[in-house]
Structure 1
Amino acid sequence: MSSSSSNPSTPNAIPYLSTRAFALHAIPISYALAYPPHLYFFTKLMSATGFKASNMTPRLNLSALSASLPKATTDMLWRARGCHLNAIEGFPLFAAAMLAGTYTNLDARQMNVCAAEYLAARVVYSVLYMTVKSEKASYLRSAVYFYSVGIPFYVLWKAGWKMAATEKRAL
């Protein structure tokens, strides 16, 4: 008997992607995607200011120290901070969608595709947020944002209709 078949944490009887496991695993992955921009922000701010940033009031550091930094550095730090906050703000909607889709037994493949598309869109969005420097190109970032937000809305909509159909059959 292989070690994976005796270990309940790594089931091998059902292929991973034919279950909703990836959709659930995508929840912590989505949350973790918020932290590369934050780590960039923190390390860049500390190095650019000669470690003058304070941990006592971390959310005020950029406002307090931006006047002493080059504009390009300040702009990049604001984008990194905004990128981090945007990911945190979008996380609850995505997590709720994955949980609702799992609870209502939406199709596993469809759930996993939605989860993967959301994660990919968030990565593309973060790269665009951190690198776009023109007003015109910023609209591409916004388009990717709205696409990413549409995915959990879609899953929640499907879950709601599935719940309604299930409850109708129960009546």
Structure 2
Amino acid sequence: MSFSPLFEHPGLALYSIPAFWALVYFPAILKNATIGRSVGYDNVSPRGNVARVRDPDTAALVKRMEGAHLNGLETLPLWIAAVLAGTVARVDTCTMNVSTIAFIGLRTLYIYCYLTQKTQLQSALRTLAWLGSTGVALRLLVKAAGALSS
């Protein structure tokens, strides 16, 4: 099986923006569903829902879900900027697509680790996934700057 058609698809990086947006909201949807099953979701005061969860294990999980969601929201502008800069600067398609696959993969791993972590080692893996994904986005921005300056 050859991956070359995937790496040569010119729009893949742009598709990653709505894909990452959906990935960012996945933990929030899980959080709301977990709160709904636990204490009932209060849509009148949605930001107070996390504090209403009393079971310690469920509360810890809900807080991790919220943290994963918020971190994704913090990272979203960086990824959008990297993809748009790379597109405008005409960074080569393979670089854009490898970056896209690496970024989405690392962010998926980050969310999984965030939601399931119970040990320091697991939290270290989460941090490495964050560093890796941030590095991918920053590398793409640098590539775009280099492409524009040459």
TM-score (norm 2): 0.92
Partner residue, 1:158: 143
Mapping of residues 13-28 of structure 1, within 5 Å: 17-28=7-18
Choose the corresponding residue for 1:115, options 81, 91, 100. Answer: 100
> If you compute each CA radius of gyration, which structure gives the higher value, 1 or 2?
1
- RMSD value, Cα: 1.3
1:48 is aligned to 2:38:
yes
Distance in 1, Cα, partners of 2:98 & 2:7: 9
Distance in 2, Cα, partners of 1:106 & 1:158: 7
- The runs of 5 or more residues in structure 1 that have no matched partner are 1-14, 166-171
SS, match of residue 90 in structure 2: coil
Distance in 2, Cα, partners of 1:38 & 1:28: 16
- The runs of 5 or more residues in structure 2 that have no matched partner are none
1:146 is aligned to 2:131:
yes
Query: Quick check: 2:110–2:126 contact (8 Å CA) kept in 1?
Result: yes
1:163 CA displacement: 1.1
Point out 4+ residue stretches in structure 1 off by more than 3 angstroms: none
TM-score (norm 1): 0.81
Distance in 1, Cα, partners of 2:119 & 2:125: 10
Query: Quick check: 2:7–2:98 contact (8 Å CA) kept in 1?
Result: no
Choose the corresponding residue for 1:31, options 21, 27, 49. Answer: 21
Choose the corresponding residue for 1:96, options 68, 74, 81. Answer: 81
Seq. identity, %: 31
